Structure 1
């Protein structure tokens, strides 16, 4: 069965639902204050939510600085994974970044997160540098991935 979904820009009112996804997805979740500051104070930040039947089930944040986009976080509620929603969200974020003038996009991903790396490779991302001890919960390294749009 195909899941019907939609995208929109995240608002302050969405933070409670996003916090649920954040806590179910990450061992060190961002704080409510971090999301608030991203939405209110960071002129470079763009945050999208993915909704299924008026419920936020995924979100993605990206900073767009001049012609470079950097994904800060992306997550789908665990019970909605495996339905290609992460892929749809990535596609939309890339579309928005390009509309806002980005020529390249980068992100960090855990070395052990092969599923996410596979998703990013579908969009042409390649592995670049390794950030040693990037994740503070277990000191795991991060793989820096990037893609050029042009």
Structure 2
């Protein structure tokens, strides 16, 4: 009898968790204001593919993160991947991509890129904090952020948001550079300082 109850309880909890994730993935597009400028904030789709690649190339240059095929695969996978995009006057100026591990109840920020001319205007901060709040709505336990070891800007940003370095992966990228993993536990609310918003 106890085993049946445990099985029912686990299934019920897992169903509720799945519903929370699905509801949070159903993102409503809207206009947002960041540091005095208005942007369109929306969920990325296949029609955004050329613009996503363009922003990624502009932000990372030769140290580009992903191939066009990887972007395409991520946009097709609607169950576990989620793109948020920012457009200014119809130009895509930044995006963030997450992968959701439903079994581990964790969200992994896989890619964050802002056009160079729009950096230091709070866009990276805005997208990252939006994902943190979205992960809380999903009932997830943590957010993981992975970036190049040489990417000091991104590391500084996530450290300011309360992320802690948990791992270093040698030879992670195609060119042999190491990656670093940062983790933010969501069991405690992190109060984010407003002065970080200009990042």
TM-score, normalised to structure 1, is: 0.91
> Structure 2, unaligned stretches of length 5 or more?
1-34, 188-199
Asked if 1:6 is matched to 2:40, the reply is yes
Bigger strand fraction: 1
CA deviations over 1:11-49 (Å, ceiling 9, x no partner): 111111111101112323423222221121352101110
1:108 aligned to which of 138, 146, 150:
146
- Residues 1:149 and 2:172 are matched in the alignment: no
Q: TM-score, normalised by structure 2?
A: 0.70
User: Root-mean-square deviation (CA), in Å?
Assistant: 1.6
Larger CA deviation: 96-105 vs 79-88: 96-105
The answer for unaligned runs of 5 or more in structure 1 is none
The structure with the larger Rg is 2
Check if 1:76 corresponds to 2:110.
Answer: no
Structure 1 residue 107: Cα displacement:
1.8
**How big is each residue's C-alpha offset from its partner over 1:40-70, in whole Å with a ceiling of 9 and x where there is no partner?**
1352101110122222100111011121001
How far the C-alpha of 1:100 sits from its partner, in A, is 2.2
Q: Kindly tell me the number of residue pairs found equivalent between the two proteins.
A: 149
Structure 1 counterpart of 2:81 = 45
Distance between the aligned counterparts of 2:100 and 2:65, measured in 1? 22
Q: Kindly indicate whether residue 55 of structure 2 is the aligned counterpart of residue 21 of structure 1.
A: yes
